[in-house]
């Protein structure tokens, strides 16, 4: 068919089909990969977009920033404890013998263009990463999103929290400065305190007695390779489960246990989430620009006989530091053996119990409530007072432990004796959770009993009866709300108004007359 028209633009356009060149490329992809059906399903996925669902995204995008800035840092950091003489531009260190790790981090901060910004962004995004995970976990806990079928995701999430905390500790210990080196010394002693195997585990991990020369290189490979790989894998599983099981949603108009209401993945959700990623990265960069964090050049290199006062770990380790400070000096010491309970209990046993409790919570709640049903609709926290109160009590205890980590700063700031502050924290850490539980429980009950508590104001229909009584009933919020079992019932119309026969039978026409 030697048709001249074959090579015209119109003919080419016609041959490409109704979706043009792009459509043709997609068809080619589908030929090879079979992506059309799954791709369409994916693009049509509906995401509920309550604002509290954004908290997990803060964590996800700060992790992305961690990866990106971290790759930059690995190009300059030297993970070695070999000694070198610092000859860089920061004069107070000039000529001092420092480790290669420390020297390379100082050089990264002063001599590499944008190096300080990358370091600070990396450190700020770690603080934000762990904070967002905790907030996100709080949202999941208090709204009951961990229930069947999402227990696995809860376990994955708790594991991610633990890995994030550990990786953060490893990361800020890499520069081998005075402050973080003290933290490594404390970690060594905590490992030592483990009964029976403590000295063996400590010697194996550190390659000998403290400090040794192996710990920084080992921390490095754990921090940049092993743990991030595990975190990436778990985050992937976390997201995959979320896509497969679909997101939970709050009850509302048109929302049932069997559907998802929200915005489609493409283009709306993608636009919003990509925008949010840019905002998170931008906020971290702004923090990295204006708020100095971990100025290791001011701390100087770590040598084991130096120490600074007012040394706390990064915030997410604070609960351990606080527990160590307030725990009394109870050491078990008999039969030729010592169990340093003043270390083992606050630093080994307590976090073990805490994280196991958190991880096992879906199973615990299933046992306690006997509820084995699927739940795709979320609870309002006030509708589950026992769970909310338990969560608040644990959160308050952890908050007290964080505060206990800064006893000396508090004593200095408020001009109170250090001894007084410590005793106060000992009491508070035990008393406040015990008080918080019943208080939260009561508040939740009150909010439940409050018709309309926590809800938007709705319009009322006011009717005037024939006797002149005005009755207000809330207008139905949603015309076709299928989840009304979670709504408080509409106020009943008073029966005496409905009793028209009694009205007709009375001689005053139902109007109450007062004798004067």
Please report, as residue ranges, which positions from 315 to 374 form the binding site for another protein (by CB under 8 A): 315, 318, 321, 324-331, 333, 336-340, 342-343
For another protein, which is the closer residue by CB, 313 or 385? 313
Least distance in angstroms from the C-beta of 87 to another protein: 11
266 contact partners, CB below 8 Å, separation of at least 6: 43, 44
Quick check: 297 binds another protein (CB under 8 A)?
A: yes
> How many residues bind another protein, per CB under 8 A?
163
- Choose the binding region for another protein from 12-20, 292-300, 353-361, 461-469 (rule: CB under 8 A): 292-300
- CA–CA dist 224, 167 (Å, integer): 9
Residues 450-479 interacting with another protein (rule: CB under 8 A): 477-479
Residue pair 181/173 in contact (Cβ under 8 Å)? The answer is yes
What x-and-dash track marks residues 422-441 binding another protein by CB under 8 A? x-------------------
Residues 56-75 interacting with another protein (rule: CB under 8 A): 57-58
- Choose the binding region for another protein from 194-202, 220-228, 363-371, 488-496 (rule: CB under 8 A): 194-202
- Cα dihedral across residues 109, 115, 118, 122: positive or negative: negative
Least distance in angstroms from the C-beta of 247 to another protein: 10
Q: Give pairs for 196-200: CB < 8 Å, separation 24+.
A: none
Quick check: 124 binds another protein (CB under 8 A)?
A: yes
Give the one residue of 480, 485, 489, 501 binding another protein; rule: CB under 8 A: 480
Q: Using only the alpha carbons of the chain, give its radius of gyration.
A: 31
- Choose the binding region for another protein from 263-271, 387-395, 444-452, 461-469 (rule: CB under 8 A): 263-271
Give the one residue of 11, 225, 289, 435 binding another protein; rule: CB under 8 A: 289
Give the one residue of 63, 127, 216, 231 binding another protein; rule: CB under 8 A: 127
Supply the DSSP symbol for 249: B
Unique residue bearing structure tokens 């976090």: 351
Quick check: 144 binds another protein (CB under 8 A)?
A: no
CA 298 to chain centre: 31
Quick check: 312 binds another protein (CB under 8 A)?
A: yes
Quick check: 132 binds another protein (CB under 8 A)?
A: yes
Least distance in angstroms from the C-beta of 116 to another protein: 5
Give the one residue of 76, 246, 441, 484 binding another protein; rule: CB under 8 A: 246
Quick check: 285 binds another protein (CB under 8 A)?
A: yes
Output the DSSP codes for 385-437. HHHHHHHHHHHHHHHHHHHHTTHHHHHHHHT--HHHHHHHHHHHHHHHHHHHH
Give the one residue of 157, 175, 313, 433 binding another protein; rule: CB under 8 A: 313
Supply the DSSP symbol for 476: P
Give me the phi and psi of 159, to 5 degrees please: -60, -40
Unique residue bearing structure tokens 């708020």: 291
Quick check: 94 binds another protein (CB under 8 A)?
A: yes
Q: Can you point out the beta strands (E) in 347-399?
A: none
The burial class, CB within 10 Å (0-12 / 13-18 / 19+), for 502 is exposed
For another protein, which is the closer residue by CB, 44 or 371? 44
Quick check: 203 binds another protein (CB under 8 A)?
A: yes
For another protein, which is the closer residue by CB, 280 or 389? 280
Give the one residue of 1, 15, 22, 291 binding another protein; rule: CB under 8 A: 291
Q: Is 230 helix (H, G, I), strand (E, B) or coil?
A: helix
Residues 209-238 interacting with another protein (rule: CB under 8 A): 209-214
Least distance in angstroms from the C-beta of 430 to another protein: 16
- CA–CA dist 498, 501 (Å, integer): 9
Quick check: 153 binds another protein (CB under 8 A)?
A: no
Quick check: 44 binds another protein (CB under 8 A)?
A: yes
Q: Which residues are 84's β-sheet partners? A: 98
Crossing angle of the two packed helices 227-245 and 151-173, in degrees rounded to 10: 150
Residue pair 67/118 in contact (Cβ under 8 Å)? The answer is no
Give me the phi and psi of 144, to 5 degrees please: 70, 30
Quick check: 385 binds another protein (CB under 8 A)?
A: no
């Amino acid at each position: 068919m030697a048709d001249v028209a074959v090579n015209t633009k119109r003919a080419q356009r016609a041959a490409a089909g109704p979706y043009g060149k792009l459509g043709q490329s997609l068809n080619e992809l589908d030929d090879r990969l079979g992506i059309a059906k799954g791709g369409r399903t994916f693009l049509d996925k509906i995401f509920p977009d309550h604002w509290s669902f954004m908290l997990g995204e803060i964590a996800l995008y700060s992790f992305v920033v961690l990866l990106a800035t971290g790759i930059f840092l690995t190009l300059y950091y030297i993970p070695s404890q070999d000694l070198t003489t610092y000859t860089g531009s920061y004069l107070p260190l000039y000529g001092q013998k420092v480790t290669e790790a420390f020297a390379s981090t100082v050089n990264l901060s002063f001599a590499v263009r944008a190096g300080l910004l990358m370091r600070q962004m990396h450190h700020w995004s770690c603080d934000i990463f762990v904070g967002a995970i905790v907030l996100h976990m709080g949202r999941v806990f208090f709204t009951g999103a961990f229930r069947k079928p999402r227990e696995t995701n809860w376990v994955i999430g708790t594991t991610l929290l633990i890995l994030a905390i550990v990786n953060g500790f490893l990361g800020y210990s890499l520069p081998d400065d005075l402050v973080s080196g003290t933290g490594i010394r404390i970690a060594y002693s905590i490992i030592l305190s483990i009964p029976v195997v403590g000295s063996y585990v400590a010697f194996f991990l550190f390659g000998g007695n403290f400090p040794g020369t192996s710990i920084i290189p080992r921390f490095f490979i754990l921090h940049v390779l092993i743990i991030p790989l595990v975190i990436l894998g778990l985050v992937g599983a976390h997201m995959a489960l979320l896509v497969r099981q679909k997101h939970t949603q709050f009850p509302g108009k048109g929302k049932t246990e069997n559907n998802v209401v929200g915005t489609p993945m493409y283009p709306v959700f993608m636009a919003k989430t990509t925008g949010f990623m840019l905002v998170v990265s931008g906020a971290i960069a702004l923090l990295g620009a204006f708020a100095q964090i971990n100025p290791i050049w001011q701390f100087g290199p770590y040598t084991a006989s130096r120490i600074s006062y007012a040394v706390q770990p990064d915030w997410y380790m604070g609960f351990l530091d606080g527990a160590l400070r307030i725990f009394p000096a109870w050491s078990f010491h008999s039969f030729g053996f010592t169990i340093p309970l003043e270390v083992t209990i606050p630093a080994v046993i307590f976090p073990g119990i805490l994280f196991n409790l958190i991880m096992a919570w879906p199973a615990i709640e299933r046992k306690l409530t006997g509820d084995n049903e699927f739940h795709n609709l979320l609870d309002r926290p006030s509708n589950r007072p026992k769970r909310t109160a338990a969560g608040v009590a644990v959160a308050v205890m952890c908050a007290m432990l964080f505060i206990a980590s800064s006893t000396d700063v508090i004593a200095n700031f408020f001009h109170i004796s250090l001894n007084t502050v410590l005793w106060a924290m000992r009491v508070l850490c035990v008393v406040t959770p015990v008080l918080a539980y019943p208080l939260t429980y009561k508040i939740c009950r009150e909010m439940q009993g409050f018709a309309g508590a926590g809800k938007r104001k709705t319009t009322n229909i006011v009717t005037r009866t024939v006797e002149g009584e005005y009755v207000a009933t809330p207008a139905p919020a949603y015309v076709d709300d299928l989840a009304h079992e979670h709504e408080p019932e509409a106020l009943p119309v008073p029966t005496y108004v409905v009793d028209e026969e009694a009205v007709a039978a009375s001689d005053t026409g139902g109007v109450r007359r007062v004798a004067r």
